Every structure is written in structure tokens, then in C-alpha cells.
Copies of this chain bind each other. A is one copy, B any other.
Amino acid sequence: METRPTLEYAGVDEARDRLRSIVPAGRTELVPLASSLNRALANSITTDVDDPPFHRAMMDGYAVRSGDLGDGGVSLEVLGDIPAGATSNTEITEGKCVHINTGAPIPPGADAVVPVEDTTLAPDGRVLIQVGVAEGRHIARRGVNTRAGDVVLHAPMRLDAVAMGVAAAAGAAKLSVYSSPRIGIITTGAELVSPDCFPEGGQIRNSNGPQLRGLAESCGCIAIDFGVVEDDRKSLCTAIAAALEQSDILCITGGVSMGAHDHVPECLERCGVQLHIRKMRIKPGKPVHVGIAEGGQVVCALPGNPVSAMVGFHLLVKPTIDLRQNLNPFKNPHPVAKLSDAIKPTTNRTTLVPAHVAVEDDGSLHISPSSWRGSGDPFGCINANALILRPENAPAAEPGAWVRFLPTGSIFG
């Protein structure tokens, strides 16, 4: 149990360090290869077979003894055909060859393959080899790619399609992976109605619930939306306790500011959540809170403004998702792009500006701040795929400056 004191008004680096030290890796499970895309590998995979498992023809043509050919123009007797999947123990002796297909095992005696394009079949069934060939040509030797016993996929890593192919080749029909985190979502606010209702009076539609579902799912998580909860202590405590039972990570939006109805931090503590971060030096998103529940669940309380909630997700929840799966979310430096429009100096808070990164004709990355109107306006962020990261107390940045960004969506389309 981490017993360091709660970070009050934490900086971005402090918050990262704390996350790294408090987020426990989650459970693992065995999944069939076909269900392993984007899962985080828990145990490294060792192959049980040489690859290729035999000296393998890499072209369709004739398996020959290279020494028989000289500079080409040599006629050879064809002993038969080895299709892929078959084997032949017929020794290839002087003046003889065998027709062979890509992927088939080279028979004993042969030491090269002549592609069919470089040959002519004579009416008598013999083949005229027009070219000379170097020993070993168009043959992948047994074990040249990997040897039985080699580790071919090193945990921890996230499995992509190439890794699935490699796992298949290694005989890993089932893989040990981290369980996909279950992300519980609680949205607070008496003013919120669901998207299929027309908002009356002081109501607005709940956009944070769907947004957080999308963010969670885009990180490969299972989203569980617990809906809108009234912002009174009793309802909140009941909802938090119930949600923690089904969640590995719990996101709550709203109720974290200084208002009379902002009960979330207090209710978290009542539910046994130890607060590790109480507000951050970031803009937007300052009122975020992070804690650990008694069962090890990570709780992120995010502001109710949709842009602030999105920023809090990328800064805190996304790294938590990786850490739960034993992946290091902080291993890569932030990339840079060339700024298209001036941005203002920052205050004493790290500032995150929704922006769009695009590839210019010369292949370089350019970044344009979105035309949003503050953290209450999600519409201005529709085309954003990044957050420009501006340090505390930074001067204005002029067009043409290289600025760091945090990718939040697809950068390359």
C-alpha cells in the first residue's frame, strides 16, 4: 500500500511518477490467438520449431546441384515434382534435378533453385537451364529466421497483426494476456439528460458518458456506463461503491470543483478511496482527482466540462490503462509539429490546446490549434487529433515554432 501523502495541485511530471508507483498490474487470462489483437502479452512466446522447419524453396522452378550448371545452357533430367506440403527423399545426383514449388523442402543433393522463368521445358521432358546459379540461391535454410527454443515475442508488448502471425508460426494457439480493463463511467449532474431526450429548462444532454465510452473503447477497454447520478452524497456514495465492484478503473465526471454540490472527492474518501492526486497544475482540467480504492481499482474524478474531461482522460486514464497491462505509457518522448497559428503565453499551469496535426506535402507535421471556445465547448474539438503541450510559464509561440503534442486520435488518417 502506497502511503505517500496526497499530491496537492500536482504538476504533470509529478502525477506521472505517482501513477507509475500506485497503479497495480491487473489480472491475466488465456485467450485464443484469434482474439488476441491489441491485447498486452503477459508471458513471452517461445517457438517450438525452426523457421523454416526445413531447407525451403523460395521460388517456383527446379531444385538443382549448382555445380552442374556452370554458366548455364545445361540440360537436366527432371526426376519429378515436389509440390509445397510434400517431401521427397530422392537424392538429386549429377545431371538431374526436380521441379519444385515455392515453400517445398529441397531434396537431398540439391543446393539451389533456378526460377522457372530461367528454364525451358524440352519435348522429351528434360529441362534446359539457361543460367548458372550460386550455391544456396533461392533457398531459405532451415532455422535461418528462428530456432526452436527462441523467444519470438517478448512480453510486455501489445499484440498487432504481425505478432499474431508470428504467434501462429510459433505454435501459440493460446496466449497469456492481461485482461482488458473494465472502465466504469459515472456522470454526475442534476442537469444531465440522455441523448434521446430534448433538454428542457436548465437541462443539457449528457455528452461525457458517450465520450468516455468512446475513449475507453479506443484504448481497448470494456466500458461500463453507470449512467447519470444525482450529485448528493448518498446517491454518489451508493453509485461509487456499486461501480467499484464491476470496474478496474472508475471514471467519474463532474462534482470535483469548489461548488456547494461538488461532493465527489469527499464521497470517494467515504468509499475507502485513498486520494493520491488532488487537483493538477493543468489548463484545462485543474480539478482532477486520482485515488486507489481498497481493491486496487484506480479512480479518476474528472471535471464535468467535456474538453476538460477529455484532457484528464488522456493525461491520467490512458496511462493508467497501460500500467494495468504492464506497459510503459511514458517511454516515448512527445513528438513535435510545426505550429500554424500563434498561441498565447501560459500561466503557472501546463496548458493543453486541442489541435489538428496534418501531414504537409513535404511530409512534415503541421499543427493548428482548434477554434474552440473554452472547456465547455466540445464542438470546436471535433477535428482535433492532438493536444499541444505548453509548459508552465511559457512565452507565446509564433507560427513556424516547433511545439510538442500529445496524440489523441489518428494522426496519419
Evaluate whether A165 and B214 lie within 8 angstroms (CB atoms) in the complex, with A262-B60, A359-B335, A361-B333 already known: yes
Q: What residues on B are CB-neighbors of A52 within 8 Å?
A: 204, 376
Q: State how many angstroms separate the Cβ of A293 from the closest Cβ of chain B.
A: 25
Evaluate whether A331 and B413 lie within 8 angstroms (CB atoms) in the complex, with A165-B210, A376-B56, A376-B58 already known: yes
A218 on interface, CB distance cutoff 8 Å: yes
Q: Do most interface residues of chain A lie in helix, strand or loop, or is the interface mixed?
A: loop
Q: What residues on B are CB-neighbors of A158 within 8 Å?
A: 410
B-binding segment of A7-15, A32-40, A66-74, A128-136: A32-40
Taking CB atoms and an 8 Å cut-off, the chain A residues in 302-323 that contact chain B are: 304, 306, 310
Sampled A-B contacts (11; CB under 8 Å): A36-B214, A54-B202, A146-B379, A158-B410, A161-B310, A164-B210, A168-B195, A332-B413, A335-B364, A336-B362, A363-B404
Contact B146 A103 (CB under 8 A): no
B-binding segment of A20-28, A186-194, A244-252: A186-194
This protein's copies in its complex: 2
A17 on interface, CB distance cutoff 8 Å: no
Task: Please name the 10 residue pairs, one residue from A and one from B, whose CB atoms are nearest each other, closest first.
Answer: A161-B214, A165-B211, A336-B363, A60-B259, A85-B190, A85-B191, A173-B196, A165-B207, A84-B191, A164-B214
Q: What residues on B are CB-neighbors of A37 within 8 Å?
A: 213-214, 217-218
Interface contacts beyond A60-B262, A169-B205: sample of 9 additional A-B pairs, CB < 8 Å, sorted by A: A37-B214, A85-B191, A86-B202, A146-B379, A161-B217, A162-B382, A165-B207, A165-B210, A332-B358
Partner of A214, one of B160, B191, B258, B377: B160
Chain B minimum-CB-distance residue to A381: B162
Contact A210 B379 (CB under 8 A): no
A411 on interface, CB distance cutoff 8 Å: yes
Contact A101 B261 (CB under 8 A): yes
Chain B minimum-CB-distance residue to A190: B85
Contact B102 A365 (CB under 8 A): no
Q: What residues on B are CB-neighbors of A34 within 8 Å?
A: 210, 213, 225
Number of A residues contacting the other chain (C-beta, 8 Å)? 120
A359 to B411, CA, bound (A): 14
Q: What residues on B are CB-neighbors of A146 within 8 Å?
A: 379
A334 to B374, CA, bound (A): 33
Taking CB atoms and an 8 Å cut-off, the chain A residues in 249-271 that contact chain B are: 257-262
Would you give the 0/1 interface string for A31-51, flagging 1 where the beta carbon is closer than 8 Å to chain B? 001101110000000001101
Q: What residues on B are CB-neighbors of A344 within 8 Å?
A: none
Taking CB atoms and an 8 Å cut-off, the chain A residues in 170-188 that contact chain B are: 171-173
A209 on interface, CB distance cutoff 8 Å: yes
Chain B minimum-CB-distance residue to A206: B168
A349 on interface, CB distance cutoff 8 Å: no
Q: State how many angstroms separate the Cβ of A93 from the closest Cβ of chain B.
A: 21
Partner of A191, one of B81, B104, B382: B104
Q: State how many angstroms separate the Cβ of A190 from the closest Cβ of chain B.
A: 3
A210 to B173, CA, bound (A): 10
Q: State how many angstroms separate the Cβ of A317 from the closest Cβ of chain B.
A: 11
A156 on interface, CB distance cutoff 8 Å: no
A287 to B81, CA, bound (A): 22
Contact B218 A161 (CB under 8 A): yes
A399 on interface, CB distance cutoff 8 Å: no
Q: State how many angstroms separate the Cβ of A44 from the closest Cβ of chain B.
A: 12
Partner of A258, one of B117, B152, B153, B336: B117
Evaluate whether A83 and B376 lie within 8 angstroms (CB atoms) in the complex, with A171-B198, A331-B413, A359-B335 already known: no
Q: What residues on B are CB-neighbors of A95 within 8 Å?
A: none
Contact B102 A166 (CB under 8 A): no
Contact B85 A189 (CB under 8 A): yes
Contact B167 A210 (CB under 8 A): yes
Partner of A304, one of B103, B145, B201: B103
A105 on interface, CB distance cutoff 8 Å: yes
